[in-house]
Amino acid sequence: MTPSRDGVAWSLPAPMLTTAVDSPALPSGYAGEPKWDGFRAQLSRFGDGRVLLRSTQGTDVTAAFTDIREAAFAQLPQGTGLDGEPVVWESGRLAFERLQQRLGRRGAAAVAERARRWPAHYIAFDLLHTVGEGDVTGWPYARRRAAPEALFADRGLVEPFTLCPSTTDPTSAAEWLAWSAAGVEGLCFKRLDAPYRAGVRSPVWQKYKVRMTTEAIAAAVTGPLAARRSVLLGRHDTGGRLRYTGRTTTLPAALSRALADRLTPPDEGPGAHPCEGWTSTAGWGAAGRAHAAGMPIPAVGRLRDRQVLDR
């Protein structure tokens, strides 16, 4: 709990979580919101001047996003607690990899340089605490939604703050799926009469995620050959050269074992395989040397490791 200037202690609750659904149709009695290509983080502006940006897992990431911290101090009233997503916009799309690079920098000079190159925006989709009302998580979504709309209008909030769109119109919600190339990953559905339930994964909050299916070549694996941790994926370019395109997240044990019989060894000799001897980092989620192998498999979804950043 953090004391505010008026002596009242408060902190934001654990984030409410979504339940995955297979249909993009907006249910009756729900509001729809775009699902952004960012990561979930709550933002608190305390009365003592402090600002806290905290990930879903409770990690303090404030120091990595000085631009959001400074804007919160300058624009948000004391006692404000928001739920939302930091995002980075680059070349006409949301770039999750730039968020990862922002998180990975240490030292004031490096953080400032990354903030200059890849400024972050904070997309707010819920208001959880106000200086006048205190904790408002018990309010139904419809009332909580009106509160950030009033906050943005009354305070004239500007960049890097953005209010997440919300609609009860199924047609409008479906149209947001056309923004997938720009970084909309799907839709979130929130029941209008539902309170914010701290730390609960509930069907009153639903998430539909767009998934794209394509074929890729499992070009290499990381980890010991007897216990493969992840697969490096590739596609052939127009010249027939195998190019690295991404990797899987850490493989479940059963899938790792099943993969063994389907891999084929590469040709022998130096340079025979483009991935031979690559080394991975902790950022890949499966540190170690890449071992060459190959087979065609379907690759579903966008393959990358979000580590502590899961929504």
**Catalytic-labelled residue, pool 35, 190, 207, 209:** 35
33-to-49, 96, 172, 175, 186 alpha-carbon distances in Å: 31, 19, 10, 11, 9
CB atoms within 10 A of CB 139: 18
Burial of 284 (0-12, 13-18, 19+ CB in 10 A): buried
Helix (H, G, I), strand (E, B) or coil at 131: coil
Report d(CA 301, CA 214) in Å as an integer: 8
pLDDT in 10s for each residue of the chain, 311 residues: 544 444 456 889 999 999 999 999 999 999 999 999 889 999 999 988 899 999 998 999 999 999 999 999 999 999 999 999 999 999 889 998 898 899 886 788 999 999 999 999 999 999 999 988 999 999 999 999 999 999 999 999 999 999 999 999 999 999 999 998 888 999 999 999 999 999 999 999 999 998 877 788 877 777 776 677 888 888 888 988 888 887 787 888 888 888 777 776 666 656 556 666 555 444 433 344 444 444 333 332 233 333 333 33
pTM exceeding 0.75? no
Active site residue 35: yes
Task: Give yes or no for a contact between 188 and 206, defined as CB atoms under 8 angstroms apart.
Answer: yes
